[in-house]
């Protein structure tokens, strides 16, 4: 009898917790939807973003299903699922983690399928893309970090990480819709000192960063297209495909040697290593290539623009970058 009572008590506790969890989740879902609608109203996008359902947990995560972008009757894109977690929006800190799964055009192809970069590789009917964005802005410390992960099946995957400091001015400018609107009008009408108005952006400093690219078919297709349309096989001198393979390998090897001799990657920490990595990736020998920024004291946007784009290698050298496979 005692065991039965204990079992009933345990069952009751579980049921109570389940009911409480369901109630909190329902409340959280409603609150999350209200906050999203308020944000869309604030940005004037409420009529352009729609979703079939939204669910949220009491711990601050939310999930939107079957999201459409554009008018309800004629959407320009759709997203299978949007996952939101870790949202924080206080005076001293703003952070979050948003994952977009299955971003597609109305025809079912990836939202990236019509971009010039993708089309150059000869395949535009790509599966939907996925994107994850994480950010953490700390006002009191005047710094921020940004992480982007892009997955485009059958093409490329990319991972971008940036560490920033002296961002308070830029953040304040970004949060001031009226100021941004005024800057836009000033630019259109040629009025005022745009350089002075945009000074907060120039103060932002990059303290660290990296970009990793992973080939998932894009480079391979590009190589095949290059061989087919830019390398002519000689009739009577053997298999045409083998000829093209051999000539392409020679082309990549020559490009690698010229890169080293001409110091084409002079802005990198090691010119020869950078040339080797670039040639290996472009030639299909390695499927990954990673750019890493290692600035000693950070590099400001103003420093990056100071040369007027005339000598990119000097600007690049400020970051002491490396390029590896």
> pLDDT tens across 279-291, in order?
999 999 999 999 9
Euclidean distance between CA atoms 144 and 138, whole angstroms: 6
Euclidean distance between CA atoms 267 and 12, whole angstroms: 68
Position 316 in a domain: yes
pLDDT at 200: 84
Give residue 239's domain range: 218-324
Euclidean distance between CA atoms 239 and 50, whole angstroms: 56
Q: For the chain, what percent of residues have pLDDT higher than 70? A: 80
Position 318 in a domain: yes
| Strand partners for 101 | 81
User: Running DSSP on this structure, what letter comes out for residue 110?
Assistant: B
Position 248 in a domain: yes
Position 247 in a domain: yes
Distance of CA 240 to the CA centre of its chain: 40
Position 186 in a domain: no
Position 211 in a domain: no
Per-residue pLDDT of the chain (325 residues; tens, 9 = 90+): 444 444 333 333 333 333 333 344 444 556 666 777 776 776 677 788 888 888 877 666 888 899 888 887 888 999 999 988 887 878 899 898 999 999 999 999 999 998 999 999 989 899 999 999 999 999 999 999 999 999 999 999 999 999 999 999 988 887 765 555 555 544 544 444 445 667 888 899 999 999 999 999 999 999 999 999 999 989 888 999 999 999 999 999 999 999 999 999 999 999 999 999 999 999 999 999 999 999 988 999 999 888 666 778 888 999 999 999 9
pLDDT at 7: 38
Position 289 in a domain: yes
The pair phi, psi for residue 112, each rounded to 5°, is -90, -5
pLDDT at 88: 81
What is the number of structural domains in the chain? Answer: 1
Q: Is 212:290 a contact under the CB 8 Å cutoff? A: yes
pTM over 0.85: no
Parallel/antiparallel/unpaired status of strands 322-324 and 129-138: unpaired
Closest CA to 64 of 47, 52, 48, 78: 52
pLDDT at 28: 52
Position 273 in a domain: yes
Sign of CA dihedral 233, 236, 241, 243: negative
Alpha helices in the chain (DSSP H): 2-43, 116-119, 168-175, 177-189, 194-197, 199-203, 218-230, 240-261, 271-282, 301-305, 312-317
């Amino acid at each position: 009898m005692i065991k039965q009572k204990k079992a009933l008590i345990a069952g009751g506790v579980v049921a109570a917790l389940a009911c409480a969890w369901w109630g909190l989740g329902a409340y959280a879902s409603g609150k999350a939807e209200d906050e999203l609608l308020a944000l869309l109203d604030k940005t004037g996008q409420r009529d352009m973003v729609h979703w079939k359902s939204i669910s949220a947990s009491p711990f601050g995560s939310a999930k939107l299903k079957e999201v459409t972008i554009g008018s309800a009757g004629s959407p320009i894109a759709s997203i299978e699922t949007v996952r939101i977690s870790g949202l924080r929006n206080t005076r001293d800190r703003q952070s979050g983690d948003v994952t977009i799964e299955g971003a597609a055009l109305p025809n079912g192809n990836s939202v990236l399928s019509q971009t010039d970069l993708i089309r150059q590789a000869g395949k535009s009917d790509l599966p939907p893309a996925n994107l994850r964005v994480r950010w953490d802005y700390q006002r009191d410390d005047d710094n921020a970090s940004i992480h982007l992960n892009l997955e485009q099946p059958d093409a490329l995957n990319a991972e971008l990480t940036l560490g920033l400091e002296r961002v308070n001015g830029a953040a304040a400018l970004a949060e001031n819709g009226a100021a941004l609107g005024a800057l836009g009008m000033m630019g259109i009408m040629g009025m005022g000192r745009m350089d002075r108005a945009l000074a907060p952006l120039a103060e932002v400093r990059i303290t660290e960063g990296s970009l990793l690219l992973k080939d998932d078919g894009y480079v391979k297709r590009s190589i095949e297209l290059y061989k087919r349309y830019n390398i002519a096989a000689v009739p009577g001198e053997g298999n045409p495909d083998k000829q093209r393979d051999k000539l392409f390998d020679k082309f990549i090897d020559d490009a690698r040697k010229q890169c080293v001799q001409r110091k084409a990657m002079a802005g990198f920490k090691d010119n020869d290593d950078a040339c080797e990595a670039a040639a290996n990736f472009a030639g299909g020998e390695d499927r990954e290539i990673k750019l890493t920024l290692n600035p000693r004291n950070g590099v400001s946007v103003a420093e990056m623009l100071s040369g007027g784009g005339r000598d990119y290698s000097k600007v690049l050298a400020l970051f002491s970058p490396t390029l590896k496979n």
